[in-house]
Amino acid sequence: MLEIRSLRKVYGGHGRQVEALGDVTLTVPEGQFVCVVGPSGCGKTTLLRCLGGLLAPTSGEVEVAGQPVTGPPDGLAIVFQEYGRSLFPWLRVAENIELPLKSKGVGRAERRRIVDESLTAVGLGDAAKAYPWQLSGGMQQRVAIARAIAFQPKVLLMDEPFAAVDAQTRADLEDLARTVWQRFGMTVLFVTHDIDEAVYLGQRVVMLSASPTRVLEDLDIDLPDKRDQLATRSGTRFAELRSHVYSRIQEAKIARPGS
Protein backbone atom coordinates (compact mmCIF):
# COMPACT_ATOMS: atom_id res chain seq x y z
CA MET A 1 0.00 0.00 0.00
CA LEU A 2 2.80 2.38 0.94
CA GLU A 3 6.13 2.12 -0.83
CA ILE A 4 9.09 4.25 0.11
CA ARG A 5 12.33 3.63 -1.78
CA SER A 6 15.64 5.35 -1.01
CA LEU A 7 13.86 8.48 0.08
CA ARG A 8 16.18 11.41 0.67
CA LYS A 9 15.32 14.94 1.65
CA VAL A 10 17.79 17.78 2.01
CA TYR A 11 16.68 21.15 3.27
CA GLY A 12 18.87 23.97 2.17
CA GLY A 13 19.06 27.67 2.23
CA HIS A 14 21.55 30.43 2.92
CA GLY A 15 24.46 28.12 2.18
CA ARG A 16 23.57 25.66 4.92
CA GLN A 17 22.23 22.25 4.04
CA VAL A 18 20.45 19.93 6.41
CA GLU A 19 19.92 16.33 5.46
CA ALA A 20 16.63 15.48 7.12
CA LEU A 21 16.21 12.06 5.52
CA GLY A 22 19.29 10.11 4.54
CA ASP A 23 18.08 6.99 2.78
CA VAL A 24 14.76 5.59 3.92
CA THR A 25 13.23 2.45 2.43
CA LEU A 26 9.99 1.15 3.87
CA THR A 27 6.99 -0.87 2.73
CA VAL A 28 3.63 -0.99 4.45
CA PRO A 29 1.18 -3.66 3.25
CA GLU A 30 -2.51 -2.88 3.06
CA GLY A 31 -4.39 -2.80 6.35
CA GLN A 32 -1.34 -2.73 8.61
CA PHE A 33 -0.86 -0.46 11.62
CA VAL A 34 2.77 0.69 11.59
CA CYS A 35 4.39 2.97 14.11
CA VAL A 36 7.45 5.01 13.21
CA VAL A 37 9.53 6.01 16.19
CA GLY A 38 12.80 7.86 16.48
CA PRO A 39 14.65 10.46 18.51
CA SER A 40 13.27 13.97 18.29
CA GLY A 41 14.47 15.92 15.27
CA CYS A 42 15.08 12.79 13.23
CA GLY A 43 12.90 13.75 10.31
CA LYS A 44 9.76 11.78 11.19
CA THR A 45 7.55 14.65 10.20
CA THR A 46 9.49 15.16 6.98
CA LEU A 47 8.92 11.50 6.11
CA LEU A 48 5.23 11.87 6.73
CA ARG A 49 4.95 15.09 4.73
CA CYS A 50 6.70 13.40 1.79
CA LEU A 51 4.22 10.54 2.02
CA GLY A 52 1.30 12.92 2.16
CA GLY A 53 2.49 14.73 -0.95
CA LEU A 54 2.96 17.97 0.96
CA LEU A 55 6.71 18.01 0.40
CA ALA A 56 8.73 17.03 -2.65
CA PRO A 57 11.59 14.64 -1.84
CA THR A 58 15.11 15.47 -2.99
CA SER A 59 15.48 11.99 -4.43
CA GLY A 60 13.90 8.56 -4.14
CA GLU A 61 10.39 7.37 -4.76
CA VAL A 62 7.18 7.36 -2.81
CA GLU A 63 4.15 5.37 -3.90
CA VAL A 64 0.70 5.17 -2.40
CA ALA A 65 -1.53 2.34 -3.69
CA GLY A 66 0.78 1.83 -6.63
CA GLN A 67 0.66 5.47 -7.73
CA PRO A 68 3.77 7.66 -7.47
CA VAL A 69 3.16 10.62 -5.15
CA THR A 70 3.44 14.00 -6.81
CA GLY A 71 0.78 15.85 -4.82
CA PRO A 72 -1.57 14.83 -2.05
CA PRO A 73 -2.62 11.30 -3.15
CA ASP A 74 -6.17 10.05 -3.43
CA GLY A 75 -7.64 8.31 -0.44
CA LEU A 76 -5.10 9.56 2.04
CA ALA A 77 -5.86 11.54 5.18
CA ILE A 78 -3.57 13.10 7.74
CA VAL A 79 -4.15 13.81 11.41
CA PHE A 80 -1.77 16.60 12.39
CA GLN A 81 -0.16 17.10 15.76
CA GLU A 82 -1.37 20.66 16.09
CA TYR A 83 -5.07 19.94 16.64
CA GLY A 84 -5.62 23.58 17.56
CA ARG A 85 -4.45 24.65 14.13
CA SER A 86 -5.73 21.90 11.89
CA LEU A 87 -9.43 22.54 12.56
CA PHE A 88 -11.10 25.58 11.04
CA PRO A 89 -11.97 27.76 14.03
CA TRP A 90 -14.77 29.54 12.12
CA LEU A 91 -16.57 26.31 11.30
CA ARG A 92 -18.60 24.23 13.72
CA VAL A 93 -17.46 20.68 14.44
CA ALA A 94 -19.93 19.15 11.96
CA GLU A 95 -18.97 21.68 9.26
CA ASN A 96 -15.30 20.89 9.79
CA ILE A 97 -15.96 17.23 9.14
CA GLU A 98 -18.28 17.99 6.26
CA LEU A 99 -15.91 20.28 4.35
CA PRO A 100 -13.69 17.62 2.70
CA LEU A 101 -16.87 15.77 1.70
CA LYS A 102 -18.19 18.90 0.03
CA SER A 103 -15.09 19.19 -2.10
CA LYS A 104 -15.48 15.48 -2.90
CA GLY A 105 -18.96 16.23 -4.22
CA VAL A 106 -20.88 14.08 -1.74
CA GLY A 107 -24.61 14.93 -1.58
CA ARG A 108 -26.10 16.77 1.37
CA ALA A 109 -28.06 13.90 2.95
CA GLU A 110 -25.14 11.52 2.55
CA ARG A 111 -22.81 14.09 4.06
CA ARG A 112 -25.01 14.45 7.11
CA ARG A 113 -25.12 10.70 7.58
CA ILE A 114 -21.35 10.30 7.34
CA VAL A 115 -20.75 13.19 9.73
CA ASP A 116 -23.06 11.67 12.33
CA GLU A 117 -21.49 8.27 11.93
CA SER A 118 -17.92 9.46 12.28
CA LEU A 119 -18.74 11.70 15.24
CA THR A 120 -20.36 8.74 16.97
CA ALA A 121 -17.32 6.60 16.14
CA VAL A 122 -15.05 8.97 18.08
CA GLY A 123 -17.54 9.37 20.92
CA LEU A 124 -18.52 12.94 20.20
CA GLY A 125 -22.09 12.42 19.07
CA ASP A 126 -23.36 15.53 20.83
CA ALA A 127 -20.63 18.02 19.89
CA ALA A 128 -21.67 18.58 16.28
CA LYS A 129 -22.83 22.15 16.83
CA ALA A 130 -19.92 23.30 18.98
CA TYR A 131 -16.96 25.28 17.68
CA PRO A 132 -13.58 23.54 17.98
CA TRP A 133 -12.22 26.11 20.43
CA GLN A 134 -15.07 25.35 22.82
CA LEU A 135 -13.71 21.82 23.22
CA SER A 136 -10.76 20.49 25.19
CA GLY A 137 -7.56 19.53 23.37
CA GLY A 138 -8.36 15.84 23.47
CA MET A 139 -11.82 16.43 22.07
CA GLN A 140 -10.43 18.62 19.30
CA GLN A 141 -8.12 15.80 18.27
CA ARG A 142 -11.13 13.48 18.28
CA VAL A 143 -12.80 15.84 15.83
CA ALA A 144 -9.71 15.75 13.62
CA ILE A 145 -9.85 11.95 13.70
CA ALA A 146 -13.55 12.01 12.89
CA ARG A 147 -12.82 14.25 9.91
CA ALA A 148 -10.20 11.79 8.71
CA ILE A 149 -12.60 8.85 9.10
CA ALA A 150 -15.37 10.69 7.26
CA PHE A 151 -13.02 11.19 4.33
CA GLN A 152 -12.98 7.37 4.10
CA PRO A 153 -9.28 7.10 3.35
CA LYS A 154 -7.41 3.94 2.48
CA VAL A 155 -4.35 5.34 4.22
CA LEU A 156 -4.32 7.30 7.44
CA LEU A 157 -1.16 9.18 8.44
CA MET A 158 -0.90 10.38 12.01
CA ASP A 159 1.83 12.85 12.93
CA GLU A 160 2.47 12.65 16.69
CA PRO A 161 -1.24 13.23 17.14
CA PHE A 162 -1.34 12.82 20.89
CA ALA A 163 1.89 14.57 21.84
CA ALA A 164 0.12 17.67 23.10
CA VAL A 165 -2.61 16.17 25.28
CA ASP A 166 -2.46 15.09 28.90
CA ALA A 167 -1.63 11.50 29.89
CA GLN A 168 -5.15 10.31 30.74
CA THR A 169 -6.65 11.69 27.52
CA ARG A 170 -3.76 10.24 25.64
CA ALA A 171 -4.50 6.70 26.78
CA ASP A 172 -8.13 7.10 25.68
CA LEU A 173 -7.08 8.48 22.29
CA GLU A 174 -4.62 5.62 21.75
CA ASP A 175 -7.39 3.12 22.26
CA LEU A 176 -9.57 5.16 19.93
CA ALA A 177 -6.90 4.99 17.23
CA ARG A 178 -6.82 1.19 17.51
CA THR A 179 -10.61 0.92 17.48
CA VAL A 180 -10.94 3.11 14.43
CA TRP A 181 -8.28 1.15 12.60
CA GLN A 182 -9.90 -2.18 13.42
CA ARG A 183 -13.37 -0.96 12.49
CA PHE A 184 -12.56 0.81 9.23
CA GLY A 185 -9.61 -1.36 8.20
CA MET A 186 -7.43 1.35 6.71
CA THR A 187 -3.65 1.31 6.52
CA VAL A 188 -2.22 3.42 9.36
CA LEU A 189 1.19 5.01 9.61
CA PHE A 190 1.58 6.47 13.08
CA VAL A 191 4.55 8.71 13.80
CA THR A 192 5.55 9.25 17.41
CA HIS A 193 8.55 9.94 19.62
CA ASP A 194 7.02 7.98 22.47
CA ILE A 195 8.38 4.42 22.57
CA ASP A 196 5.63 3.06 24.83
CA GLU A 197 3.00 4.44 22.54
CA ALA A 198 4.65 2.94 19.47
CA VAL A 199 4.90 -0.54 20.98
CA TYR A 200 1.39 -0.39 22.43
CA LEU A 201 -0.26 0.70 19.18
CA GLY A 202 1.63 -0.92 16.33
CA GLN A 203 1.68 -4.27 14.62
CA ARG A 204 5.10 -3.19 13.57
CA VAL A 205 7.53 -0.58 14.88
CA VAL A 206 9.97 1.07 12.50
CA MET A 207 12.87 2.68 14.32
CA LEU A 208 14.66 5.60 12.72
CA SER A 209 18.17 6.79 13.44
CA ALA A 210 19.02 10.41 14.12
CA SER A 211 19.80 12.58 11.13
CA PRO A 212 20.68 11.79 8.44
CA THR A 213 17.81 9.43 8.97
CA ARG A 214 17.87 5.77 8.02
CA VAL A 215 15.73 2.85 9.07
CA LEU A 216 17.48 1.38 12.08
CA GLU A 217 15.33 -1.63 12.59
CA ASP A 218 11.95 -2.92 11.52
CA LEU A 219 10.40 -4.84 14.38
CA ASP A 220 7.25 -6.98 14.38
CA ILE A 221 5.19 -6.51 17.52
CA ASP A 222 3.96 -9.96 18.46
CA LEU A 223 1.46 -8.79 21.05
CA PRO A 224 -2.11 -10.09 20.82
CA ASP A 225 -4.49 -8.04 18.71
CA LYS A 226 -6.71 -7.17 21.63
CA ARG A 227 -4.77 -4.56 23.59
CA ASP A 228 -5.55 -3.09 26.93
CA GLN A 229 -3.92 -0.14 28.65
CA LEU A 230 -3.47 -2.08 31.88
CA ALA A 231 -2.99 -5.71 30.88
CA THR A 232 -0.90 -5.13 27.76
CA ARG A 233 1.35 -2.52 29.27
CA SER A 234 2.11 -4.62 32.37
CA GLY A 235 2.89 -7.81 30.43
CA THR A 236 6.45 -9.12 30.19
CA ARG A 237 6.49 -9.25 26.38
CA PHE A 238 5.55 -5.57 26.25
CA ALA A 239 8.40 -4.77 28.62
CA GLU A 240 10.87 -6.76 26.50
CA LEU A 241 9.82 -5.12 23.27
CA ARG A 242 9.83 -1.73 24.88
CA SER A 243 13.34 -2.05 26.30
CA HIS A 244 14.60 -3.43 23.00
CA VAL A 245 13.29 -0.41 21.11
CA TYR A 246 14.53 1.88 23.84
CA SER A 247 18.09 0.54 23.76
CA ARG A 248 18.26 0.67 19.95
CA ILE A 249 17.22 4.28 19.94
CA GLN A 250 19.67 5.12 22.72
CA GLU A 251 22.45 3.51 20.66
CA ALA A 252 21.42 5.53 17.66
CA LYS A 253 21.61 8.71 19.69
CA ILE A 254 25.12 7.97 20.97
CA ALA A 255 26.58 6.71 17.70
CA ARG A 256 25.25 9.65 15.78
CA PRO A 257 27.34 9.69 12.65
CA GLY A 258 28.79 12.83 11.23
CA SER A 259 27.91 15.20 14.04
Choose which of 71, 168, 226, 259 interacts with another protein (CB under 8 A).
71
The alpha carbons of the chain give a radius of gyration, in whole angstroms, of 18
For 228-231, the CB contacts below 8 A with 24+ separation are 229/171, 229/174, 229/175, 229/200
**Residues 95, 129: contact at Cβ < 8 Å?**
no
Residue 39 or 153: the one with the smaller Cβ distance to another protein is: 153
Task: Find the length of the chain.
Answer: 259
State residue 227 phi and psi, 5-degree precision.
Answer: -110, 150
Work out how close the CB of 16 gets to another protein at its nearest, in angstroms, rounded to a whole number: 10
Q: Which of residues 22-61 bind another protein (CB under 8 A)?
A: 49, 52-56
| Nearest Cα residue to 136 out of 89, 169, 176, 90 | 169
Choose which of 22, 86, 122, 145 interacts with another protein (CB under 8 A).
86
Q: Is 171 in the site for another protein (CB under 8 A)?
A: no
Residue 53 or 202: the one with the smaller Cβ distance to another protein is: 53
Q: Is 67 in the site for another protein (CB under 8 A)?
A: no
Work out how close the CB of 6 gets to another protein at its nearest, in angstroms, rounded to a whole number: 18
CA distance 94 to 132: 10
Residues contributing to the site for another protein (CB under 8 A): 11-13, 17, 49, 52-56, 71-72, 76-78, 80, 82, 85-86, 88-91, 99-100, 102-104, 131, 133-134, 136-137, 147, 151
